[in-house]
Amino acid sequence: MTIRELTQQIRQKKSYLCVGLDSDIAKIPRHLHSSADPVFEFNKQIIDATLGFCVSYKINTAFYESRGVKGWESLEKTIRYIPGTHFTIADAKRGDIGNTSSHYAKAFFEELNFDAVTVAPYMGADSIQPFLEYENKCTIVLGLTSNAGAKDFELLPAGNERLYEKVLRTVSQWGTPGNLMFVIGATQADEFVNIRRILPDHYFLVPGVGFQGGSLKDISEKAMNDQVGLLVNVSRAIIFAGEKEDFAAEAANIASQYQKEMSSYL
């Protein structure tokens, strides 16, 4: 799915919700543990329940990689289960020298056929360029994150601007709004007006709504552009809304609430 097609889906569904499949095996309902693949069974039911309320799914690869081969199998089955009507993101935060990045890009864009992957910009242009070479794929670059440690580097002065601002301006020249998105944390709501001035046309992937306390209203009012330009990720608040056998219905209920609120801002 391309960025243009994503925008069409957002308009049709009146939703810019991305459901994060941070599927920690220690937190999924107990009754699923007797399944052959508990994490995939959990994801499958979450996807079935939330499909109509979201436009995207983000798989945080750490929750799968930490389980070795079994986790990787769960990830593969999950990405293949998500229908092509939804924008798929590998939240892998990769970034390395060119040859290594080329293999990372091949893994996520060719082998697993994700629509997008998150990358870290610290090593510069040659670490990101291999991802940008893929036509109709999207590279999502860490911009201003929602964690407390953002102040350690991202918010430091860099000449007449802050480091994260320099990153946004520089990286935006390496691609286009059609193949580049940026991660901007919801807890940095006060920065969104400034960020939108720097990047008027790009999409932002916005984590931090839900358990981290980011305001969907603030983000929508300060960061939306005429193409919507927002993909708001909610993970734990949706997928772990319920702990019993009706967990998927509970997830659907929360996802529908987010979709309803989003529709009021479009």
**Per-residue confidence (pLDDT) for residue 209, from 0 to 100:** 84
pLDDT in tens, 169-204: 999 999 999 999 999 998 877 889 999 999 999 999
pLDDT in tens, 76-86: 999 999 999 99
Is 93 one of the annotated active-site residues of the chain?
A: yes
Residue 211 predicted with pLDDT over 70? no
Number of domains the chain contains: 1
CATH number for the domain harbouring residue 130: 3.20.20.70
Residue 213 predicted with pLDDT over 80? no
Closest by Cα among 50, 58, 96, 100 to 238: 50
Q: What angle do CA 139, 137, 109 make, to 5 degrees?
A: 90
**Three-state SS annotation for 175-191:** CCCCCEEEEECHHHHHH
Spot the catalytic one: 14, 44, 77, 93.
93
Average pLDDT value over all residues in the chain? 95
Could you tell me the pTM of the whole model? 0.97
DSSP per position, 148-215: TTHHHHTTSEETTEEHHHHHHHHHTTTS-TTTEEEEE-GGGGGGHHHHHHH-SS-EEEE--BSTT-B-
**Per-residue confidence (pLDDT) for residue 190, from 0 to 100:** 83
Range of the domain at 43: 3-265
**161-162 and 138-144 strand pairing:** unpaired
Which residues, 6+ apart, have CB-to-CB distance to 36 below 8 Å? none
